[in-house]
Every structure is written in C-alpha cells, then in structure tokens.
Amino acid sequence: MEFSELIRTGQAQAELLRGPEMPPLRGTLCVTGHHLLLSPGPQATPDLWLLLLRSVDSIEKRVAGDAGTITLRCKDLRVLQLDIEGVEATLDIARSIEALSSLESVITSFPFFYRPKGLRLGESWHFHPPERYYKRVARETRAWRLSEANEDFSLCPSYPRAVIVPRTVDDDALARSARFRQGGRFPVLSYYHAPSGTVLLRSSQPLTGPQKRRCAEDEELLQAVLAGARPGARGFIVDTRSAQAAKQARMTGGGTEAKSAYPGWKRLHRPLERGRPLQESFVHLVEACGDLEQSMDRWLSRLDGCHWLSHVKAALSTACLAAQGMEWEGACILVHGAEGTDSTLLVTSLAQLILDPLSRTMAGFQELIEREWIQAGHPFQLRCAHSAFSHTRPKHEAPIFLLFLDCVWQLGRQFPLSLEFGEGMLLALFDHSYASPFGTFLCNSEKERCLCEVRTRTHSLWSGLNQPKEQRKLRNPLYAPNPLAIWPSVEPQSLRLWQGLFLRWTHPPEPSEVAWEKVWQIATDQEKTEGSQPTDSASEPQP
Amino acid sequence: MSYLSSTHIYPIIVENVKLLDRYVGKKPANGSLYLTATHLIYMEASGAARKETWIALHHIATVEKLSITSLGCPLILRCKNFRVAHFVLESDVVCHEVYISLLKLSQPALHEDLYAFSYNPKSSKEMRENGWKLIDPISDFGRMGLPNRYWTITDANRNYEICSTYPPDIVVPKSVTLGTVVGSSKFRSKERVPVLSYLYKENNAAICRCSQPLSGFYTRCIDDELLLEAISQTNPGSQFMYVVDTRPKLNAMANRAAGKGYEKEDNYSNIRFRFMGIENIHVMRSSLQKLLEGTGISPGEFLSGLESSGWLRHIKAIMDAGIFIAKAVKVEKTNVLVHCSDGWDRTAQVCSVASILLDPFYRTFKGLMVREQPIPNSVIPDVNHCLSLPLFASLRCGHLDGDSKEVSPIFTQFLDCIWQLMEQFPCAFEFNENFLLEIHDHVFSCQFGNFLGNCQKDREDLRIYEKTHSVWPFLVQRKPDFRNPLYKGFTVYGVLNPSTLSHPFLQQAQGLSCFASPCIADIISISLAMEILTTRPPGNSLSLIGKSHLAMVYNPLNMLLHSVGYYIVEDFCIYIHKAY
C-alpha cells in the first residue's frame, strides 16, 4: 500500500482519554493507512478501539520529558487525548496522522477498501435514482418528462444524468437554458405537490450580466411550468440572496430574473447565509460549546453571538414560505441563489419535508437526501473537507448540510411523532457526511462519482444504515404517519440548540440513552398489548 | 362567593368582542365575553369547535385598558401564569366597566373573597376532610427515621410562642434543652431557630435551616452556639458542619450594619462557612419581569433578552447551591445548616432542591406533594415547605391586593429547577411537566386552600382546613395525565448528579417560563387546559398542545399532537402576508 511511506512509526504505548465520563483506555497505539488503532493489553477486553483517520479535523502535539500528548479534534466534534510514551514516537505518530488525515485523493480513501461482512457491493445504489422519483410524478401528472439530455454531463456537470423537465420543452431548449444559467443548472423539477398540482423547481442564477441579457428558451421553460400546473397559475421565484446581493451579482455575470421577461412569476428575496459566514458561525458555536467553565451570561451571549439559531430560523422560514406558496397559494415555486447547490437545496429539501408525508419516512428521507443533496450536486467533498476545528483557513467549507440536519431536528422536536427516523439518524448522517467508510457522500457531483466509479467500488451508506441491527438507533419508535403538512414554529423560543449534536461529547450520554431505551420499550409493549396488526414502520425494519 | 364581593358583580355579558392574535395579519376571532364571579370566559361565536377561553380571575396579574382604536377598545390581560389575552371591545363604556370589575375582582382585599372559600366541587364534608389528610407529613419524618438517637420532634411551638412562622412541631437535637432553643431563637431573625429539614438516613447527615443571626458586628449568643454545636454532634461521622448562607457576601455584610449578618467561624466550633450568591426577591422579581418582556422576533434578540433577564443565571445559582448541599451530605457526609435573610425564600428553594437530588422519594407524586405540602395536620414534618411555601402563597404570589414589593417568583423558580432536573434525567421523575404546570397554576388560582396564608398560624386563623378544599386529592384523581411514562421506578436513580455546566440550562426556553412567550401562550393556555380537562370532555383539550414533553406521552396524546399541525398553520399566514 502506498500509504506506508507516510507512516513513520509502527506502534507505541499510549493512554487514550475519551472525554469526561468515559474511562481511559491503555494499550498499544498503531497507525495504519486509514485508521488509528488502540489495542488494549491482553488482560483487558480484546475490543479494539478504532478511529478513521479521515475524521481527524485537527491535531495538536505537546511533549514534556519523555512522553508526549496528542490532542485529536474530530470532525464529529469529539475531542480525544492520547498520552504517548516516548517523544520520538509521539512526533512520528502525530506526523503520520497529519499526513494521512489530509489526503485529497478520492480513490485511495477508505470507502474504496471497506468491505464489511453482510453487505454486497452495488447494493442499495439503485434505490434512489431520479427515474424512481419520476415514476411517482408520472402517476399524478402528464405535464413532465424525464430528460436524458445530460447523459454525458455536458449540459450541466453537477446534475445527474436524468432530470425531470416540462414535457413541452425539448432537449435543445434545455441546452440553451443551461447556457443561460450558472454552471448549467437550468430549472428542473424538485418536487411535485400532488394536492395542489403545483411544483417546486430549483436552478442556479440566470447569467443576465450587466447588459441584462435574456434567454427565450429559459423564459419558455418557466412559462411551460405554469402552463403545465393549471391555467392561470402563478409562480414565485425565491431568491436566497438579498435583492442587493442579486443586483451586485450582475457585475460578475450573474443576476436574477427580470420581472418583464417572466410574466406570471414574482420574485421574492430571502437572504440565507452561506459560505464563510456560515462556517464561522459553526466554528464559534462549537467553541462556545467546548468551553466548560463559562458563566451562564457568557454562554448565552456567545450562543447569541454565533448566530447559529438565526440561520436555523432563516432556513426554516424560507422553506415554509416556499411550502406555503404551493400548499396555500397554489403557486409554482422556483428556488435559486447563486450556484444553486447550497442554500437552494436547503430550502427545497426542507419544503418537501414540511409538505410531503412520504419524505418523512425512513426510506423517503433517504431518497430525499439522495435526490436533493447528493444527486442534485451539493459539493460534499468541498463543503465537508473540514469541520469546526480546522486551523486552516476555510476555502470552500460550509456546514450547509449540517444546517439542514439541524432544521430537520427542529421539525422532529416540534412534531415528535411525524418523522419515522430519530435523532440517531441525523447524527449518523452528520458523521458520515464528514468522514465515512461508505461512498455515499464522496465527491462533489454525479459526474465525479462516475469517474471514480464510486457506485461499483464502494458500499452505499443506505445499505449500511438499513441493516436490521441499526434500526433501534435510527428509528423513531413513536412514529405515526401524519398525512398533513407539518408547519414548524420558527419563534425564537421554539428553536433550541441541538444538544444531541453540539453537546454530544460533553454531556454524560447515559440519562438520554436510558430514556431512548425506555421509549422503545413503551412503544414495543404498546404494540404487543394492542395486538392488532402491527404497523410495518415500527416493528419490522425494511429490507 | 361572599355577599361582599358579589355586590360588584353584575354577571356581565359582552357581545362582539374580538380576541386578537399577536399576528397583525390574522383575522381576529369574534365572540362573547362572560364575566362571572370566578372566571372570565370568552366564547368564539363562529367555528365548529366553539373555542372557549377560560381565565380564572385570580390568575389576572394586570389589566390594561388602551386608548380606543379603529377596531374598538383594547383590553389587555396579563396573567400570573404568563398568559396574555388581548381583547377588543366595541364600546368604551362597557370596556371601562369590565376593566373596573376585573380590577376589583382579580385582587380581592380580603382572604375571605378568595375563590377557595366559595369553591364547592360537590364533595361531602368527609371527603374534604380526608382530602386534607391525604398527605401525611408525619410519616415523612418517620420515613427519615425520626425521631432517633439524636433528634427529637417537639411540639414546643404549639402556640407559636417560639416562632410565629414555624409550624407547631419542630425537629431539634435531642441533647439541647428547650431553653437553649428559645434562647437561640431570640438571636435569629424572625425567631426562626435552626431546625431539621431533611435527614439523609444512610449516613445521618442532616440539612437544617434557620434565618440569619442577629450578630451585627460583635454580638454573640451562647445558646445559638450551643445549638449549632449540638446539631453538629448529631452526625458523629463528621468533624465539621457547613453553614451555608445562600446570599451574596455583599448583601450579608450589609445586613451586619443593621444588627443582623452571618455566623463568624471563630465563634462556633467546627463550622465551615460558605456564601452561595443567590440574589434576593427583588432581583428575582425584576428578572422575571425582564424575561416576560424580552421576547424578540429573532433568535438573537431572544437570547440577549434571556441573558439580560438573568433568569437562567439565577436558576443555575439555586441549582448550584442545591448541588453543593447534596454533595456535602452524600459525599462529605456532613451536616449543613442553610439560611438566607429570613430563611423562607432562598433557603426553602435550596433545601428542597437538595432533598430532591438526594432522595428518590421526592421525585414521586407522593413525595413531591409532601415536599410542597404547606399545611401539615398535626406534626410539622417538613420544615422546608411548611415554612416557606405558605409564605410564597400569599405574600410572594400576590393573592391579595397588597405590597407588590413582596411579590417574587420564588415558587416558579423552584418548579423551574425541578424541570431542569427532569430535562437532564428524563427517567428519574414519576410525574411530568404538566404536573408542575398544574401545581404552578393552582398556586395562583386560589381555588384550593393549600397555598393560602403565609404560615401555619395564618392558615389556622383563616380556618382553611374547615372552609376550603385541598388540591392534592384533585391532582391525585388526574394522576394518569401527570404520569411520566419514562419513569424507571424508585430504585433506579439514587442521588442525582446533575451537570453544573451552563450549557444544559438553555432548555428553559421551552420550560415553565416559556409560557411567557406569546407564541405558545397564544396557542395554549394553562388555565384553559385545566378548565377543559376538569369540566369538559377530554376531546377538547387542544390546549395541551405544544408542551415540550409530548414526545414522552405516547398514546393518548397521539391525536393531540397531530392537531398541532392544524393549529400552527395559522401562524404561518404571516409569511404569505409579508410575502405578497
């Protein structure tokens, strides 16, 4: 293995401190190509402690006397301390971890080597392609078709091979519309809301530029959307930038839809934070959560100062606006910001969770993430390269997917029975999006995934999560299907800090784990006593 | 209702009254307002469900009449359970009439006008008397193993001669004479002599309570020193005893100038003195005030409002003091004597929190009732509450029209502390959040006699046991509603060891005090919940929606929860209004 040159030392004796409530582990420390291993001495339990090197966010070393200390801050916000015997060994191990944890190559990453028992390669990869969603849409309406215009990723490198577009628009028009949109992301269907017959679309910004260019095909496409919905239908363009920012984007070739060019469509600006400010908010929040000695006032003012909850509120409000436009106003909604790969996806996916009961099931939620995040071209590799502890200056990192998970968590807290998955699922998705043995979150787009052959050479996270043994952790035992839209309250007192994530490693886990077990127990007992047909949701995990 | 109060009641019915939502864009409900002797009832004229809103008159904290607008005459009611109702009446004259009546009715000048004295739930005399006997505090002393080798229960205070605010029976060390107790009482503010509050049976460590000594700068009292020495000796396992002054040091020093103050370590043998830095009732009152006012639109405003109110800081200070005492008792196995100024606000909170941490019994229905039981029948078991809660009852809760400077949310804070513990230990309490809310409601509703009067003596003078009903049987009846389905039983958790970090406290945003938030207060009302559940078929109990622990109540609330969906939908009209 080519990693061998990066590994400077075979092994060392070390003690591992895993946090306030956990007992320390002693044993032999060993660095391999993808993992840090600690095997306890023969007298202890034979269990191996294992850490994926990819999940190390930052590393700090200190030496004193003939021993050293390495502090590992992980992408899942855990902080680990290793006390290692020998100065040389400490420095070598630190350097090895540093080198191995920051490897950029995708095809040498662990998912390409991970071969767990009980899973077959290629399994679950076919679960969630756009074709599957199109079948759902086609059952309801004839106004849309599945276009394979992007078969070779030439129209849009960040779209999947097949996209859903208005039936009356042909592939040539799509190609022209793609040239008029940043990154080729022309408007495509994101969600069809059957009760009102309206649709949710997403795209990137139009390239109007300072001359206010127009594109006839792009305009026709949006007209076709309205015509396909119902006669006289209106549309709203939700721009996730401020009006000011949208105007400024013209200087760099971007811009926004001119009112006169798109009759029937009205533009609304809902600025959402993205990019560096969002990353900084995340970093400050994690810093505040890590400071255990602060007073109450200091804690509250830091929580306030990092603005994280404001971002949660803004995201949920905008998603509600989009959802409400469809459900109440019977309007079609197009969402875009600039690139259309970040806050756009945040809004469209949250709006679906609010409106669509199917997306709140375990399978539906997985499909939603696959369709609206992974295949829709959210650049996971760039955005999740580093988490909150990295010392390097953030380039493309932004916790936009985490923000989505936080919003889902808020939904789940306000509607405890309406989501089939529990907090465990959201935590797992957070962990895996930053570092994972599975290939699902690798790369930035479908095109890259094809080039790297991710589908055939790595395992899908979904097949990992859908194993029966994982269900008790991931599912919500209280789930009862709710056919209604779930409108969250976005009042500041209704939004809470996601303690299960941000304080996961500083809190003793025991009381909440006991509570979770108890909830399961009650739920299962309830089913037994009721004796009536047990719903497939709670008792039998889906294959 | 006595004749006196009914004179200013003209069963008022006002038609065409609007109940405003705080959302500007929403069409206000239209209905009728009924002013009865005990409640203000609003009935919506339209709508299939005929929504009713009941507000107990005693819950009304302030009535505000705004100047006339194009809609009509606004009348704003702010309730002690943090509900806010915004009515608009058609006529200025009628509005004024309602306003005046509400002012008079909501704060009667005499105890006899309180609802409890007229409340008649159709139960026999016997049932009523049994109700008062339901909670037997004597048995709680028995449970602690009292009396024992070191402690004795004496009825020395039977005529309230030693201390007028103590119950007739007090627990003092066996080794001291009555003279010493009386002597010590002369040296304590309001004669509140050191007595036992809780005994941790496993290691004989006791929590005792008293008021501040009248030490000034130099004064000493031999009897007091003897009594403390005797208390210390009841626990042979420990070489010393903590004396905890829950006040900030500065406040305690200032008291010295007034001839009061705190114990000097040199004058007492083997005591270790600690200050806890919990603020006084006036600070707490203004903290709550700020908390209620500070509800911003954005999370930022909300958090900075929360921070500047200091509410969580105070809650944490009380919890920290409770945790300190519990650790001293459990880990250091030592006695603790707690006092503040008069020993009936902070002392009560802190001792109660410590006992709840130490003793799983107080985390059960029965235990909490004992802990809160203000009116023992014959023997006073639990000095904590016997002495403290009653005081909140009339003075601190502002039942009667009186000095607003004496009103303070001491009891609300205590419930918030329990709630914080429930958040950290979801399986350790037999009751749920609704139980706390219900108790909180009844402290102000004056429907039952338990929380009336300031001390045992007051209550006897008011003949509460003869004339009013006890709240506990009423609550016991509804136990299924208040049960925490996650409770793991008595033995699973021994001593609780909560986190003392600042982080977990944020959750308060959804706790008791959150009913200050218009968002939830508009949707649900605690008093409405109470009324609906007691007088109406349970199908109507929309009002339970939105409480944070619904997740834990599995089946019965299933339906309710989904109706949240319907309900909150209305809130979102605002989006569309803003958008278009």
Tell me the per-residue pLDDT of A355-374, one tens digit each, with 9 for 90 and over.
Answer: 999 999 999 999 999 999 99
What does the mean pLDDT of chain B come to? 74
Give mean pLDDT, residues B160-174: 87
B280 is in an annotated binding site: yes
Pure H helices in A32-129: 87-101
Spatial distance between the Cα atoms of A542 and A536, rounded to a whole number of angstroms: 8
Give mean pLDDT, residues A127-136: 81
Q: Is B143 exposed, middle or buried (0-12, 13-18, 19+ CB in 10 A)?
A: middle
The answer to whether A511 contacts B426, with C-beta atoms less than 8 Å apart, is yes
Residues of A in contact with B307 (CB under 8 A): 297, 300-301, 304
In chain A, whose CA is at the least distance from the CA of B428?
A511
Residue A541 has pLDDT above 80, yes or no: no
% of chain A exceeding 70 in pLDDT: 93
Q: Which helix (H) or strand (E) holds B579?
A: helix B573-579
Q: Is the Cβ of B562 closer than 8 Å to some Cβ of chain A?
A: yes
In chain A, whose CA is at the least distance from the CA of B499?
A507
What confidence score (pLDDT) does residue A542 get? 39
Residue A306 has pLDDT above 60, yes or no: yes
Q: Return the ∠ at Cα A125 (arms to A123 and A126), rounded to 5°.
A: 100
Q: Where are the domains positioned within chain B?
A: 12-106, 145-482, 506-577
The answer to whether B506 contacts A317, with C-beta atoms less than 8 Å apart, is no
Residue B426 has pLDDT above 90, yes or no: no
Of the spans A429-433, B122-126, B237-241, which averages the highest pLDDT?
A429-433
The answer to whether the CB of B445 falls within 8 A of the CB of B58 is yes
B345 is in an annotated binding site: yes
Tell me the per-residue pLDDT of B196-229, one tens digit each, with 9 for 90 and over.
Answer: 989 999 999 999 999 999 998 888 999 999 999 9
Spatial distance between the Cα atoms of A333 and A317, rounded to a whole number of angstroms: 15
The answer to whether A489 contacts B519, with C-beta atoms less than 8 Å apart, is yes
Query: Which of A313, A482, A522 lies nearest to residue B565, judging by beta carbons?
Result: A482
* Best residue of A286, A289, A294, A296 to probe chain B, by most B CBs closer than 10 Å: A296
- Cis before B147 (ω within 30): yes
What does the mean pLDDT of chain A come to? 86
Residues of B in contact with A287 (CB under 8 A): none
The answer to whether A478 contacts B297, with C-beta atoms less than 8 Å apart, is no
In sequence order, what DSSP letters do the residues of B250-301 get, joined into one string? HHHHHHHHTT-----TTTSTTEEEEE-----HHHHHHHHHHHHH---SSHHH
The pLDDT confidence band at residue B47, using thresholds 50, 70 and 90, is: low
Range in A96-110, A298-312, B104-118, B324-338 with the lowest mean pLDDT: B104-118
% of chain B exceeding 90 in pLDDT: 20
B352 is in an annotated binding site: no
Give mean pLDDT, residues B273-281: 92
Q: At residue B287, what is the residue type? A: S
3-state secondary structure of A30: strand
The pLDDT confidence band at residue B577, using thresholds 50, 70 and 90, is: very low
In sequence order, the 6+-apart residues with CB closer than 8 A to the CB of A300 are B303, B304, B306, B307, B312, B502, B506
Give mean pLDDT, residues A253-274: 91
Residues of B in contact with A417 (CB under 8 A): 551, 558, 561-562
Query: Which of A289, A485, A495 lies nearest to residue B503, judging by beta carbons?
Result: A289
3-state secondary structure of B378: coil
Residues of A in contact with B486 (CB under 8 A): 515, 518-519, 522
The pLDDT confidence band at residue B400, using thresholds 50, 70 and 90, is: low
Nearest alpha-carbon partner for A75 in A99, A102, A95, A94 = A102
Query: Which of B299, B310, B488 lies nearest to residue A518, judging by beta carbons?
Result: B488
Strand partners, A56: A74
Is 0.80 topped by the overall pTM?
Answer: yes
Residues of B in contact with A310 (CB under 8 A): 298-300
In chain B, whose CA is at the least distance from the CA of A495?
B299
Tell me the per-residue pLDDT of B518-544, one tens digit each, with 9 for 90 and over.
Answer: 333 223 322 222 222 222 222 222 222
The pLDDT confidence band at residue B507, using thresholds 50, 70 and 90, is: very low
What confidence score (pLDDT) does residue B26 get? 54
Tell me the per-residue pLDDT of A432-449, one tens digit each, with 9 for 90 and over.
Answer: 999 999 989 999 999 999
Residues of A in contact with B504 (CB under 8 A): 499, 503, 507
The dihedral over CA atoms of B343, B349, B353, B359, expressed in degrees to the nearest 10, equals 60
Spatial distance between the Cα atoms of A163 and A133, rounded to a whole number of angstroms: 10
Residues of A in contact with B425 (CB under 8 A): 511
Q: Is the Cβ of B561 closer than 8 Å to some Cβ of chain A?
A: yes
Helix axes B365-372, B346-358, angle to 10 degrees: 160
Give mean pLDDT, residues A404-416: 90
% of chain A exceeding 90 in pLDDT: 42
Give mean pLDDT, residues A382-395: 84
In the CATH hierarchy, which fold is given to the domain comprising B12-106?
Answer: PH-domain like (2.30.29)
Per-residue b or e along B74-87, where b marks 16 or more CB atoms closer than 10 Å to that residue's CB: bbebbbbbbbbbbb
Parallel/antiparallel/unpaired status of strands B335-339 and B241-245: parallel
In chain B, whose CA is at the least distance from the CA of A268?
B579
B427 is catalytic: no
Residues of A in contact with B292 (CB under 8 A): none
Give mean pLDDT, residues A176-202: 93
The answer to whether B510 contacts A493, with C-beta atoms less than 8 Å apart, is yes
What confidence score (pLDDT) does residue A129 get? 75
Q: Is the Cβ of B310 closer than 8 Å to some Cβ of chain A?
A: yes
Spatial distance between the Cα atoms of A368 and B198, rounded to a whole number of angstroms: 56
Range in A532-536, B359-363, B367-371 with the lowest mean pLDDT: A532-536
B342 is in an annotated binding site: yes
Residues of B in contact with A296 (CB under 8 A): 312-313, 316, 502, 505
Q: Is the Cβ of B293 closer than 8 Å to some Cβ of chain A?
A: no
**From the candidates B163, B340, B397, B455, which is the catalytic residue?**
B340
What confidence score (pLDDT) does residue B395 get? 55
Range in A163-172, B205-214, B243-252, B362-371 with the lowest mean pLDDT: B362-371
Q: Which helix (H) or strand (E) holds A58?
A: strand A56-64
Residue B176 has pLDDT above 60, yes or no: yes
* Best residue of B320, B501, B547 to probe chain A, by most A CBs closer than 10 Å: B501
What confidence score (pLDDT) does residue B405 get? 67
Chain CA centroid to CA A381, Å: 11
Q: Which helix (H) or strand (E) holds B64?
A: strand B60-65
The answer to whether A496 contacts B519, with C-beta atoms less than 8 Å apart, is no
What confidence score (pLDDT) does residue A540 get? 37
B220 is in an annotated binding site: no
The answer to whether A415 contacts B301, with C-beta atoms less than 8 Å apart, is no
The answer to whether the CB of A228 falls within 8 A of the CB of A198 is no
Token couple for B119: 């409340």
CB pairs under 8 A between A and B: 164
Residue B580 has pLDDT above 60, yes or no: no
Give mean pLDDT, residues B124-149: 79
Chain CA centroid to CA B119, Å: 21
Token couple for B325: 């005492």
Query: Which of B295, B425, B501 lies nearest to residue A511, judging by beta carbons?
Result: B425
The answer to whether B503 contacts A320, with C-beta atoms less than 8 Å apart, is no
Spatial distance between the Cα atoms of B29 and B34, rounded to a whole number of angstroms: 15
What confidence score (pLDDT) does residue B137 get? 65
Query: Which of B298, B502, B555 lies nearest to residue A492, judging by beta carbons?
Result: B298
B311 is in an annotated binding site: no
Range in A131-140, B3-12, B137-146, B377-386 with the lowest mean pLDDT: B377-386
Range in B21-30, B175-184, B321-330, B438-447 with the lowest mean pLDDT: B21-30
Q: How many Å lie between the alpha carbon of A484 and the closest alpha carbon of chain B?
A: 7
Residue B576 has pLDDT above 50, yes or no: no
Residue B109 has pLDDT above 80, yes or no: no
Spatial distance between the Cα atoms of A180 and A264, rounded to a whole number of angstroms: 20
Q: How many Å lie between the alpha carbon of B465 and the closest alpha carbon of chain A?
A: 41
Q: How many Å lie between the alpha carbon of B524 and the closest alpha carbon of chain A?
A: 14
Residues of A in contact with B520 (CB under 8 A): 493-494
Query: Which of B316, B509, B580 lies nearest to residue A496, judging by beta carbons?
Result: B509
What confidence score (pLDDT) does residue B505 get? 67
Query: Which of A317, A494, A497 lies nearest to residue B519, judging by beta carbons?
Result: A494
In chain A, whose CA is at the least distance from the CA of B546?
A414
Q: How many Å lie between the alpha carbon of A489 and the closest alpha carbon of chain B?
A: 7
What confidence score (pLDDT) does residue B398 get? 63
Q: Quickly count: other Cβ atoms within 10 Å of residue A41's Cβ.
A: 9
